[in-house]
Chains A and B, each alone.
Chain A
Amino acid sequence: MNYTFIALVENKPGVLNRVASLFRRRNFNIESLAVGRTENPEVSRMTVVVDCPNGDVDAHRIEANLYKLVNVIDVQDVTHQPVVARDLALIKVRVGPERRAEVNGLAEIFRARIVDVAPDSVVVEITGTEDKIEGMIELLRPIGIVEMVRTGQISMTRGVHDGVRRMPGMESRRYEDVMDMAEMMP
């Protein structure tokens, strides 16, 4: 089963490599990994979807191992939490003027947009859950997909709630709290 983790990491060179290397070394298979900035320039945010054949046991391992990395500030498991999860896809469809309206209609149903039109193709931009994107791909495939790119999943919990932190003593590690903790260090 796939588990989704949100990791806050220090925005430093090589941190992505450390995280990816850790998953490789511990023999976990990453389904999707998306990295981007946050509201704090010193912090990057990763959404990692990992296949966990042993369920919660693996999830615990992943979280604990992430904390072994010095640059990892916070890890939350949001698998079983109410989250907003999004994936963005750009899909280039081989389509001439005669069937363009059909693609346009599909895009409307999926709240997608056509962002480029060429004589023999269009590019469709769609955001949403992975399921929704899969649904659109299925309908576009018979028309003819030339090229496709996806960002991978990004997730955010709904409301002010956090995800699950499995490690004892690791509760609430938002960056502001962590900065306070740093001042308390010996």
Chain B
Amino acid sequence: MKLKGAEIVWECLVREGVEVVFGYPGGANMPIYDAMLNYPVHHVLVRHEQGGAHMADGYARASGKVGVAMATSGPGATNLVTGIATAMMDSVPVVFITGQVAAHLIGGDAFQETDVTGITLPITKHNYLVTRAEEIAETIREAFYIAKSGRPGPVLIDICKNAQVESCEFAYPEEVKLPGYQPVTRSPRNLLDDAVALIEKAKKPIILCGHGVIMSNAEEELMQFAVKTQTPVASTLLGLGAFPASHELSLGMMGMHGEAYTNLAIQNSDLILAFGMRFDDRVTGTLKTYAPKAKKIHIEIDPSEVHKNVFVDVPLVGDVKTVVADLIPLVDEYDHDEWKQEINGWKNEADTRSIMNWEEDGRLYVAHLIADIWKATGGGAIVTTDVGQHQMWTAQYYQLEKPNRWITSGGAGTMGFGLPSAIGAWFAAKDQEIWAVAGDGGFQMTAAELTTAVQEGANVKVAIMNNSFLGMVRQWQEFFFEKRYSAVNMLAPDFVKLAEAHGVPAKRVTKREEVNEAIEWARSIKGPTVLEFRVEMEDAVYPMVPAGAALHEMIRRPVKA
């Protein structure tokens, strides 16, 4: 069957199970857009390519499938960069397809020519420059395989315009031939035995659950292992939802803004079982004093993460699901009652400081608002966030029971991520309630996607936590720069009018008693809505481990007089 390159693109995408792509047309990808009309794939016209990248990312995280975003060459392609880097840092499988000038023009600084493969080399798992139609099918097949397998990540395909219009014989490649790419999925028995020996000796073990658990669908294995060995489970920011927050073994989030008792448990543990996490500096604090008494077992699909930040005693390179499933029959049952009691002691102490136990004073605290949204939605919504204080409060107070419902930019910390990723998630789960929690700063970065939401009828609820500050930077300036508030005082547009200008119903909430009514109002409307909460201006996220401090040296929330 002879097809044009542009048609081959869609033939391949359909065979890869792609139902929706997020993109923006332009000069160098017009043949692809022309061919699109003949294929059963829904295209979402975004307002900025970055929005498209985040939507594909949100779609991938909510669906567990590969997301797809498209852009033309030059500035269209470079506008994707932030979104690509975000997907890379959080290991999200997204395939990016960009247009490129004709192959014979490459290197000549042709109109809208940019070296996109060069630019994205360090922020993609792999990338391709396709100069001939004959290469397209094999490349797309490989790209999806690479994006999804091993440690997932973004793959970019830059397709020259001539390759899109030329015709060639189309055959969908049966298999992928990548001699160098062989992800290791299973750890050898002798290393499993070494791990079991450490588990047997441990009196104070703790599981650190990361994004890898969700990426490999290892939630059941994690539950079985944790229950059988009675090992408490702490979670990274991106691991939230892999283990139900209400479970008695759940310790919630660890790290810089993790629960104080969770960090204390890590520091006092004698065995760390790291499941699909990478000892990022935001979860370890300073490495010199990190979990000094603990032996460490690291289950990780990416060999380059082993010993990268923390030297581990037993590295189990492989897929978390496979490795934990292999471990479960090898370990005995334990109770670890003393250890759990010790942790409970710290937990009770933490409860006395919790803002949730404060008496209402009529003011709006984000923690309370998140808890209200959590209650109203029964804890079952998909929640996306921007980056900053509200992100941490949402991680702390939206108690997740299930995976793939927590969509946030962890590794890159990308502001403007919340709204577009929520729209993407909606395409993956149209029957689910979706809330995008944003700050006033981040929301202004990608607010234009409100119109995309309207055009698509995306049922997403945006909650803007407006404190008229870049809150997290302000918090750091408060704690570490003697309250010299430099460039954090931020004017915002009238968010209600702005939303309404986009055609989105909106409400402003300034009083505590209006909160629940507003949340219910937003929930009752089918389609996008915006709630602007005028929140307490100078509240801080607690606990906080200052950068460079030990994990247990936390700044705690002052006990309210």
A: which residues have CB within 8 A of B? 9-10, 13-14, 17-18, 21, 25, 57, 60-61, 64-65, 67-74, 167-170, 173, 175, 178-179, 181-182, 185
Q: Does B457 contact A (CB under 8 A)?
A: no
Q: Does B437 contact A (CB under 8 A)?
A: no
Closest Cβ–Cβ distance, residue A164 to chain B (whole Å): 15
Q: Is B188 within 8 A of A178, CB to CB?
A: no
Closest Cβ–Cβ distance, residue B417 to chain A (whole Å): 23
B: which residues have CB within 8 A of A? 117-118, 121-122, 125-126, 129, 146, 175-182, 184, 186-188, 191, 302-304, 306-308, 311, 315, 317-318
Q: Is A69 within 8 A of B184, CB to CB?
A: no
> What are 13 A-B pairs with beta-carbon distances under 8 A?
A13-B129, A14-B129, A21-B122, A57-B311, A60-B306, A69-B126, A70-B125, A70-B180, A73-B180, A178-B179, A181-B179, A182-B175, A182-B179
Closest Cβ–Cβ distance, residue B125 to chain A (whole Å): 8
Q: Which residues of A contact B125 (CB under 8 A)?
A: 68, 70
Q: Is B304 within 8 A of A169, CB to CB?
A: no
Q: Is B175 within 8 A of A185, CB to CB?
A: yes
Q: Which residues of B contact A65 (CB under 8 A)?
A: 304
Q: Which residues of B contact A182 (CB under 8 A)?
A: 175, 177-179, 182
Closest Cβ–Cβ distance, residue A87 to chain B (whole Å): 27
Within the assembled complex, what's the spacing in Å between the Cα atoms of A21 and B118? 10
Q: Is B307 within 8 A of A169, CB to CB?
A: no
Asked, given contacts A21-B121, A25-B122, whether A10 binds B180 with beta carbons under 8 Å apart, the answer is: yes
Closest Cβ–Cβ distance, residue A89 to chain B (whole Å): 32
Asked, given contacts A167-B317, A185-B175, whether A67 binds B303 with beta carbons under 8 Å apart, the answer is: yes
Within the assembled complex, what's the spacing in Å between the Cα atoms of A60 and B303? 9
Q: Is A68 within 8 A of B180, CB to CB?
A: no
Q: Which residues of B contact A18 (CB under 8 A)?
A: 121
Q: Is A168 within 8 A of B315, CB to CB?
A: yes
Closest Cβ–Cβ distance, residue B47 to chain A (whole Å): 32
Within the assembled complex, what's the spacing in Å between the Cα atoms of A71 and B125? 11
Which of A9, A14, A60, A170 is close to B307, meaning CB atoms less than 8 Å apart?
A: A60
Q: Is A168 within 8 A of B303, CB to CB?
A: yes
Chain A, residue nearest B304 (CB): A64
Which of A67, A70, A74, A181 is close to B304, meaning CB atoms less than 8 Å apart?
A: A67
Which 3 A-B residue pairs are closest in the complex by CB-CB distance? A64-B304, A169-B184, A73-B180
Q: Which residues of A contact B191 (CB under 8 A)?
A: 168
Q: Which residues of A contact B175 (CB under 8 A)?
A: 182, 185
Q: Which residues of B contact A68 (CB under 8 A)?
A: 125, 302, 304
Q: Is B180 within 8 A of A178, CB to CB?
A: yes
Which of B182, B304, B317 is close to A168, meaning CB atoms less than 8 Å apart?
A: B317
Q: Is A175 within 8 A of B304, CB to CB?
A: no
Asked, given contacts A168-B188, A169-B188, whether A9 binds B303 with beta carbons under 8 Å apart, the answer is: no
Within the assembled complex, what's the spacing in Å between the Cα atoms of A169 and B176? 20
Q: Which residues of B contact A173 (CB under 8 A)?
A: 182
Closest Cβ–Cβ distance, residue B132 to chain A (whole Å): 13
Q: Which residues of B contact A169 (CB under 8 A)?
A: 184, 186-188, 317-318
Q: Which residues of B contact A74 (CB under 8 A)?
A: 180
Within the assembled complex, what's the spacing in Å between the Cα atoms of A14 and B156? 14
Closest Cβ–Cβ distance, residue A11 to chain B (whole Å): 11
Within the assembled complex, what's the spacing in Å between the Cα atoms of A102 and B317? 60
Closest Cβ–Cβ distance, residue A185 to chain B (whole Å): 7
Chain A, residue nearest B122 (CB): A25
Q: Which residues of B contact A71 (CB under 8 A)?
A: 180
Q: Which residues of A contact B126 (CB under 8 A)?
A: 69-70
Which of B117, B118, B184, B304 is close to A61, meaning CB atoms less than 8 Å apart?
A: B304
Within the assembled complex, what's the spacing in Å between the Cα atoms of A21 and B146? 20
Closest Cβ–Cβ distance, residue A70 to chain B (whole Å): 4
Q: Is B179 within 8 A of A167, CB to CB?
A: no
Q: Is A69 within 8 A of B180, CB to CB?
A: yes
Asked, given contacts A70-B146, A168-B315, whether A64 binds B303 with beta carbons under 8 Å apart, the answer is: yes
Q: Is A167 within 8 A of B180, CB to CB?
A: no
Q: Which of B122, B182, B184, B306 has the most CB of A within 10 A?
A: B182
Chain A, residue nearest B185 (CB): A169
Q: Is B306 within 8 A of A64, CB to CB?
A: yes
Asked, given contacts A64-B306, A168-B317, whether A72 binds B180 with beta carbons under 8 Å apart, the answer is: yes
Q: Which of A9, A13, A74, A168 has the most CB of B within 10 A?
A: A168
Q: Which residues of B contact A67 (CB under 8 A)?
A: 180, 303-304
Asked, given contacts A17-B121, A64-B306, A67-B304, whether A168 binds B184 with beta carbons under 8 Å apart, the answer is: yes
Closest Cβ–Cβ distance, residue A177 to chain B (whole Å): 10
Chain A, residue nearest B308 (CB): A61
Chain A, residue nearest B186 (CB): A169
Q: Which residues of B contact A178 (CB under 8 A)?
A: 179-180, 182
Closest Cβ–Cβ distance, residue A9 to chain B (whole Å): 7
Within the assembled complex, what's the spacing in Å between the Cα atoms of A99 and B18? 75
Q: Which residues of B contact A70 (CB under 8 A)?
A: 125-126, 146, 178, 180-181
Q: Which residues of A contact B176 (CB under 8 A)?
A: 185
Q: Is A73 within 8 A of B179, CB to CB?
A: yes
Q: Which residues of B contact A168 (CB under 8 A)?
A: 184, 187-188, 191, 303, 315, 317
Asked, given contacts A68-B304, A168-B191, whether A179 binds B179 with beta carbons under 8 Å apart, the answer is: yes
Within the assembled complex, what's the spacing in Å between the Cα atoms of A104 and B252? 76
Q: Which residues of A contact B186 (CB under 8 A)?
A: 169
Chain A, residue nearest B131 (CB): A13
Within the assembled complex, what's the spacing in Å between the Cα atoms of A10 and B180? 8
Q: Which of B121, B181, B302, B307 has the most CB of A within 10 A?
A: B181
Within the assembled complex, what's the spacing in Å between the Cα atoms of A181 and B125? 21
Q: Which residues of B contact A179 (CB under 8 A)?
A: 179
Within the assembled complex, what's the spacing in Å between the Cα atoms of A72 and B181? 7
Q: Which residues of A contact B180 (CB under 8 A)?
A: 9-10, 67, 69-74, 178
Q: Which residues of B contact A185 (CB under 8 A)?
A: 175-176, 182
20 additional contacts, CB 8 Å, given A68-B125, A168-B317? A57-B311, A60-B307, A61-B304, A64-B302, A64-B306, A67-B303, A70-B125, A70-B181, A72-B180, A167-B184, A168-B191, A168-B315, A169-B187, A169-B188, A170-B303, A173-B182, A178-B179, A178-B180, A181-B182, A185-B176
Within the assembled complex, what's the spacing in Å between the Cα atoms of A73 and B179? 6
Q: Which residues of B contact A13 (CB under 8 A)?
A: 129
Closest Cβ–Cβ distance, residue B102 to chain A (whole Å): 17
